């Protein structure tokens, strides 16, 4: 039964999987089956990207869209929180990551061809970030697809920065040199050391939705958010609030000086063409001229 299987996989967890007693064989079997399906899906190009737009609170414009991977199996969708770690364990993450980069850059090219030259943000897991030729791969991909590296952002988590510090710094500076923007994702969930902001060239802080979901009732979260935004601003780092689901939260973010928001309140992740339609409608609503030729 697929639900039970998914439950078993989720329970097995992202990291530090522990199998006990009779559950062990079942868990291992389920994961192996899922891994084989994932390998098959990558080979037959069954994974697709959706894009969640980001709203710049200063300009009221959409400045970027984050690429999020989707996998629909015959038993229903599997979350990237499940299949990304699985791909890492099963040695599939590089094939998967190359596909994501290719698709994300293709989408950016499509948007800019339609006069919406927004950036595209791609998530990289710690293991993806540690590939020795990461910079060359990214450079080659932007070249191949004719997308300026200035239109590409990468989102990494703190997990990246607890690896070999010197080599991580080198890679980050090389990516900056190339013209990329670097965002620190899920800020506030891990160690969240402010020292990271000093030692690494981070352009954007994405504040995890755990700090956003109880705004404005939770006064501790209000204080923490205001502090993070204050520190980031003093350091010249842009802040983006993730998981903004209500008008009230959006208003709050604007009021405390957060630079941009993402979340279901503004938009859910959309396929590439729907994103273009969404940007077009957003511009029309705001009374801005748009050079898009899409008819409604
Ligand atoms: P993330 O990068 O922090 O992405 C944000 C997640 O929050 C996405 O879940 C998004 O759909 C969801 N989200 C956005 N707005 C809201 C909201 O208002 N409320 C709530 N409750 N959720 C919201 P998703 O797509 O399931 O992705 C989960 C995680 O999987 C991502 O977290 C990212 O770490 C990872 N991931 C997704 N795609 C990729 C990929 O292509 N490569 C890698 N390495 N990781 C990926
Ligand atoms: Mg992200
Ligand atoms: Mg996040
Ligand atoms: Mg996340």
**pLDDT tens digits, residue range 60-108?**
999 999 999 999 999 999 999 999 999 999 999 999 999 999 999 999 9
Give the closest residue (by CA) to ligand 1 atom 27: 80
Per-residue pLDDT, 22: 62
**What number of other Cβ atoms are within 10 A of residue 71's Cβ?**
21
Taking the CA of residue 264 as reference, the ligand 1 atom at the shortest distance is: 18
Site to substitute for ligand 1 among 71, 80, 263, most atoms within 8 A of C-beta: 80
Sign of the CA dihedral with 244 first, then 248, 251, and 257 last:
negative
In order, the DSSP letters of 142-163 are HHHHT--GGGEEEEE-HHHHTS
- Work out the pLDDT band at 295, boundaries 50, 70, 90: very low
3-state secondary structure of 290: coil
- Given a contact cutoff of 8 angstroms between Cβ atoms, the answer to whether 129 and 293 are in contact is no
- CA–centroid distance, 186 to ligand 4, in Å, is 6
216 upstream amide cis, omega within 30 of 0: yes
Residues 6+ apart with CB under 8 A from 237: 197, 202, 203, 204, 205
Euclidean distance between CA atoms 259 and 257, whole angstroms: 6
- CA–centroid distance, 199 to ligand 4, in Å, is 22
Euclidean distance between CA atoms 69 and 36, whole angstroms: 18
pLDDT, tens digit (0-9, with 9 covering 90-100), for 155-208: 999 999 888 889 999 999 999 999 999 999 999 887 777 888 888 999 999 999
Residue 52's DSSP bridge partners are 66
- CA–centroid distance, 7 to ligand 1, in Å, is 19
Per-residue pLDDT, 142: 98
Euclidean distance between CA atoms 19 and 25, whole angstroms: 8
């Amino acid at each position: 039964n697929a639900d039970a299987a998914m439950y078993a996989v989720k329970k097995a967890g992202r990291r530090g999987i522990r199998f006990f007693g009779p559950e062990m064989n079942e868990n291992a079997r389920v994961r192996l089956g899922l891994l084989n399906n994932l390998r098959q899906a990558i080979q037959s190009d069954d994974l697709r990207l959706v894009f969640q737009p980001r709203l710049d609170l200063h300009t009221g414009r959409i400045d970027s869209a984050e690429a999020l991977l989707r996998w629909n199996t015959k038993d229903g969708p599997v979350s990237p929180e499940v299949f990304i770690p699985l791909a890492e364990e099963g040695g599939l993450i590089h094939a998967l990551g190359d596909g994501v980069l290719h698709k994300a850059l293709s989408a950016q090219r499509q948007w800019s061809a339609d006069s919406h030259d927004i950036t595209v943000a791609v998530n990289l897991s710690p293991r993806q970030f540690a590939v020795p030729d990461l910079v060359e791969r990214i450079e080659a991909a932007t070249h191949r697809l004719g997308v300026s590296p200035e239109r590409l952002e990468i989102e990494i988590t703190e997990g990246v920065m607890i690896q070999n510090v010197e080599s991580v710094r080198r890679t980050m500076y090389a990516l900056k040199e190339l013209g990329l923007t670097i965002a620190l994702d899920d800020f506030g969930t891990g160690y969240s050391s402010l020292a990271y902001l000093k030692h690494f060239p981070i352009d954007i802080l994405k504040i995890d939705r755990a700090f956003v979901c109880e705004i404005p009732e939770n006064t501790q979260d209000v204080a923490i958010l205001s502090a993070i935004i204050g520190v980031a601003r003093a350091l010249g780092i842009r802040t983006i609030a993730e998981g903004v689901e209500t008008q009230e939260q959006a208003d709050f973010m604007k009021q405390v000086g957060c630079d941009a928001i993402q979340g279901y309140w503004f938009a859910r992740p959309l396929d590439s063409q729907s994103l273009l339609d969404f940007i077009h409608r957003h511009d029309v609503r705001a009374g801005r001229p748009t050079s898009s030729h899409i008819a409604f």
